[in-house]
Amino acid sequence: HPKGRLRTREALAKSYSPLFNRTLDPETEVIISAGANEGLYAIFAGFLDDGDEVILIEPFFDQYIANITMNGGVPVYVPLRPHGDTNKIISSRDWKLDINELRSKITPRTKILVFNTPHNPVGKVFSREEMLEIAQVVQEFNLLLVSDEVYDRLYYKPDVHGRIATLPGLWDRTITVGSGGKTFGTTGWRVGWLIGPKNLIKTVLSAQTRIVFCVNSPLQEAIGISIEEAEAHGYYEENIALYEQRRDKLCKALSDAGLPYTFPQGSYFILANTKRINIPEDYEYPEILLDRPRDFKVCYWMAKEIGVVAIPPSEFYSEENRYLGEDYARFAFCKTDETLEAAAKALLKLTKYINE
């Protein structure tokens, strides 16, 4: 069925009903998508008309852009900005959204705001107070809110992942996006889900039926079983504990290498500040990188000379704001202990290139 297998929808409804403080109807308020990414595409296909504007909070998951523009939408950007000394270790909670800057980006063409928590790549878990500010803006300007919560099961004490759809007045205008791939480490299965009110889900379902019709059935069933088993055997708590250990290993490795970083409240990414890395001036880069921001060059050099691969986060910014990401590199700790230990050893080679 285009909605998804009943067992999987029922498992999701049972699991998420207490988290949304309401009894979810698996027939009308939950659909299965071909990964969270296709779910996002279906939302934009269902709701955007040519020229409609979609507000994105930078840095953002890079697939948002194509999903919006291929459906006639126009991305509009407002950045998170770090507060405090970024040459030292800071928390992801120190990355703040200026609510007045957000307001300034809204026009009569604005239709959707995309919200992401826990955040990729910053690792920020938005507080209730921050979400209330966003909720006020969304309601004031009658916007549809797309809440990307694919890392909803990965947040670290003392922080707690709150769901913006549970705030007063938000359920009726929010579609929440989830991911079996992120939750169970099965990204190749391409099974995600959308949760929201009947009228919004109905529109998305109409689009999804023409995009993929339905999601592969056996892996839907497997995700449904996984959700049932996770609830029964404490999987989520155990998984968080394992990721906390991995996070701490990578944080120590970055500290030992002399790189300050943003300590993540959630997800499995760490932004390291690479500003003090002194790459030899005569180092040769491939031609394709010559016009790219500094973080592309740093990540290329680290891969080649240090033996550790990271993502250049300026790719997660609009062209006009790429300078905000060029002093960082995104590292991931969704790795085996052996890989993290090998990375820690390799990162020590950075110490001779760090300016004090």
Please state the length of the chain.
356
Rounded to two decimals, the pTM is: 0.95
pLDDT at 220: 97
Coil, helix or strand for 7? helix
Question: With contact defined as beta carbons under 8 Å apart, do 113 and 58 qualify?
Answer: no
Question: With contact defined as beta carbons under 8 Å apart, do 268 and 246 qualify?
Answer: yes
Amino acid code (one letter) for 349: K
* Residues contacting 296, CB < 8 A, separation 6+: 289, 312, 314, 315
pLDDT at 355: 84
pLDDT, tens digit, 9 for 90 and up, residues 110-164: 999 999 999 999 999 999 999 999 999 999 999 999 999 999 999 999 999 999 9
* Residues contacting 68, CB < 8 A, separation 6+: 44, 48, 54, 74, 75
Strand partners, 177: 148, 194
Confidence class of residue 231 from pLDDT cuts 50, 70 and 90? confident
Percent of the chain with pLDDT over 90: 99
Q: Per-residue pLDDT averaged across 78-100, rounded?
A: 97
Burial-class residue 133 by CB neighbours within 10 Å (0-12, 13-18, 19+): middle
Number of C-beta neighbours around residue 177 at 10 A: 25
> For 264, which DSSP code?
P
Angle between helices 217-233 and 235-257 (to 10 degrees): 90
Q: Per-residue pLDDT averaged across 185-211, rounded?
A: 96
Question: With contact defined as beta carbons under 8 Å apart, do 170 and 21 qualify?
Answer: no
Q: Indicate the average pLDDT of the chain.
A: 97
pLDDT at 118: 98
Percent of the chain with pLDDT over 70: 100
Question: 104 pLDDT exceeds 90?
Answer: yes
In this structure, what are the phi and psi dihedrals at residue 241, rounded to the nearest 5 degrees?
-60, -40
